[in-house]
Chains A and B, each alone.
Chain A
Amino acid sequence: MISVSKVDFAYPKKPSIFSQLDLELKAGKIYGLLGKNGMGKSTLMRLLAGLHHPVSGSIDHDDISVGQRKVSSIKDIFFLSEETFVSSLSVYQYINTYKKLYTELDEESFYKNLAYLEIDESSILTQLSLGQKKKFLLSFGLSCGAKYLFLDEPTSHLDIPSKQKFRKLVADNFSPLQTIIISTHHIEEISSLLDNIIILDKGVISLDVAITEIEKKLACISNSNEDYEMAIHTEFQLGKYLHLIENTENIDSEIPLSLLFNAVTENPQVISSIFKN
């Protein structure tokens, strides 16, 4: 479990990004971290992974402060950053070199994932395209035995079939001991994977709920009318109006996460009060 308690953070000589931030991320769950550009998603991911140190407050991985940089904690972390780096080694050389450091690496699973993502085992990593590099790192991350996987925009640069494969790969490799945090702007691409969503707005967590909870508390009505009395938020999508409403009548509907995201960023208090009730 990752526990964030009263965290304050600011980059040197920059305004504060987080103030008194509290968050809890449980094992066995996949979290989607959403937010507009510059709202602190990547910073939060780096804080959670121990790559930044909070000004005050604490971030613990299973009750051990991530800031201590204990080797036992570091080996539980895999961070796939938006800008990828791979060394000029072949896949074999990379695995033979890194398996001495990642002692929990499951080689069989790694090569299976790699084959599934159609990356040649004899490839030289620096010669791969950006999307292929991401696929390689993803295969490694899912097999390296890390408990906490931080995936920053994992589907960017992936082609359409690879995005589908990404979802299947994560779902197949995910263990109940792991926690995966995926930061993305392409929420619909990964919505089927998520257990929880966290929406970050101006350094504040506007929403942190389970997907199942969203469908209980909210509903989506579509029609051709722009006005809907009970609508919290309305959007025009694909020739019809989508209205997000409070689900007081147990309506069974599928809520597009982009609709929810826009509603939360527009009316954070309204949405938050619905989930508090």
Chain B
Amino acid sequence: MSRFFALIRRDWMLHRKLFFTGLVGLFIFVFLVSRFIQFYLLPDSSTEELVSANDFTGEVFSILMIPFVGILFIIGGLITSSNLGDLRTRARRIDYITLPASILEKVMSKWLYTLPLFVVVLILMYLFFYQLSIAMNRDFLTPDMLERGYTISMIGLKFLQVYFVFHGIAFFFSFYFDRFAAIKGGLVSFAFFLILALILNLTVDFEMGDSLDVTIFYMLVFIQEHTYILMAITPILWVATYFVFKRKSA
């Protein structure tokens, strides 16, 4: 265990400046984006009178969710794909692979940073902005609006489930590809999705027609309704990641 914590400490020491600046950057980004959308993009929301009149302030929670979902998938995907940079160049790879720790400890330490820690930090950030939004719009918010905010937050949980699967794929490719893992992994995943869609398109009769976009629509609906099935597959990706790194380490 001490080796595992030593790896965690190493990653923290090596990347803490990036973590801090990233966190501050995200705070500023979320604040600016939510303010920008609320005051400039949504009609009539800049007038307090109208806002209070048409319960538009309730949209504040939908607005808040947008940057968080974006950060979850874009920043989370990039962080996971980069593997905190440890496999990027040959010299870095040698430094990391020759660290006296087991393959499992190394994979686990990266997993911990890119999934649980990242998601927890993001949830805490969301809760902070959620409370901030309530505090800033206290005069206009009705119990109905607050309930709506809660409902939207629960929808966020659905995104987290999808991210869980998304992370598993990005994590696997981050070890599989040495360089440009985000791009290569994205292309491979897209190609896989498209091939699967083509196969389904040729073999399954869908109610709404037989064009490829209908198949893709059904696939997306299936993913949305059966995320838990994909979540169950994700641990297989983690195990595969372990073996990919084991092969790479020797």
Give me the interface of A with B, judged by CB distance under 8 Å. 49-53, 66-69, 71, 74-75, 77-79, 81, 83-85, 87-89, 93, 97-98, 100-103
Check if B100 is an interface residue, CB within 8 A of chain A.
yes
Q: Is the CB of A79 within 8 A of B14?
A: no
Q: Is the CB of A75 within 8 A of B100?
A: yes
**Residue in A74, A89, A103 whose CB lies within 8 Å of B99:** A74
- How far is A1 from B156 in the complex, measured between Cα atoms in Å? 57
**Residue in A81, A97, A101 whose CB lies within 8 Å of B101:** A101
Q: Is the CB of B9 within 8 A of A51?
A: no
Which A residues lie within 8 Å of B247 (CB)? 53
Known A97-B9, A97-B10, A97-B13; contact A71-B100, beta-carbon cutoff 8 A: yes
Which A residues lie within 8 Å of B3 (CB)? 71, 100-101
CB distance from A179 to the nearest CB of B (A): 16
Q: Is the CB of A51 within 8 A of B98?
A: yes
Q: Is the CB of A101 within 8 A of B100?
A: yes
- What are the 7 A-B residue pairs with the smallest beta carbon separation, nearest first? A100-B6, A75-B100, A85-B91, A83-B91, A53-B250, A67-B250, A97-B13
Known A69-B249, A81-B90, A85-B91; contact A102-B100, beta-carbon cutoff 8 A: yes
Which B residues lie within 8 Å of A71 (CB)? 3, 100-102
Check if B240 is an interface residue, CB within 8 A of chain A.
no
- How far is A162 from B55 in the complex, measured between Cα atoms in Å? 74
Chain B interface, DSSP helix/strand/loop, else mixed: helix
Closest partner residue, chain B, to A99 (CB atom): B6
Which A residues lie within 8 Å of B91 (CB)? 81, 83-85
Can you list 16 A-B pairs, Cβ within 8 angstroms, ordered by A? A51-B94, A51-B97, A51-B250, A68-B250, A71-B101, A71-B102, A79-B94, A79-B98, A81-B91, A81-B94, A83-B89, A89-B13, A97-B6, A97-B13, A100-B5, A102-B100
Interface residues on B, range: 20 to 34
Q: Is the CB of B98 within 8 A of A98?
A: no
CB distance from A101 to the nearest CB of B (A): 5
Q: Is the CB of A83 within 8 A of B10?
A: no
Q: Is the CB of A101 within 8 A of B7?
A: yes
Which B residues lie within 8 Å of A75 (CB)? 100
Which A residues lie within 8 Å of B92 (CB)? 85
CB distance from A260 to the nearest CB of B (A): 30
Central interface residue in B6, B91, B98, B101, by most chain A CB within 10 Å? B98
CB distance from B246 to the nearest CB of A (A): 7
Central interface residue in B6, B9, B92, B94, by most chain A CB within 10 Å? B94
Which B residues lie within 8 Å of A52 (CB)? 250
Closest partner residue, chain A, to B95 (CB atom): A85
Central interface residue in B95, B99, B250, by most chain A CB within 10 Å? B250
Q: Is the CB of B94 within 8 A of A85?
A: yes
Which A residues lie within 8 Å of B95 (CB)? 85
Taking CB atoms and an 8 Å cut-off, the chain B residues in 112-153 that contact chain A are none
Q: Is the CB of B14 within 8 A of A101?
A: no
Known A83-B90, A97-B13; contact A49-B101, beta-carbon cutoff 8 A: no
Which B residues lie within 8 Å of A84 (CB)? 91
- How far is A79 from B246 in the complex, measured between Cα atoms in Å? 19
- How far is A83 from B92 in the complex, measured between Cα atoms in Å? 9
**Residue in A78, A83, A88 whose CB lies within 8 Å of B98:** A78
Which A residues lie within 8 Å of B89 (CB)? 83, 85
Q: Is the CB of A100 within 8 A of B2?
A: yes
Central interface residue in B10, B95, B100, B250, by most chain A CB within 10 Å? B100
Closest partner residue, chain A, to B3 (CB atom): A101
Check if B103 is an interface residue, CB within 8 A of chain A.
yes
Which A residues lie within 8 Å of B10 (CB)? 97-98, 100-101
- How far is A66 from B97 in the complex, measured between Cα atoms in Å? 13
Taking CB atoms and an 8 Å cut-off, the chain B residues in 9-29 that contact chain A are 9-10, 13-14, 17
Which B residues lie within 8 Å of A102 (CB)? 100
Which B residues lie within 8 Å of A67 (CB)? 250
Which B residues lie within 8 Å of A101 (CB)? 3, 6-7, 10, 99-101
- How far is A102 from B90 in the complex, measured between Cα atoms in Å? 21
Which B residues lie within 8 Å of A81 (CB)? 90-91, 94
Q: Is the CB of A74 within 8 A of B98?
A: yes
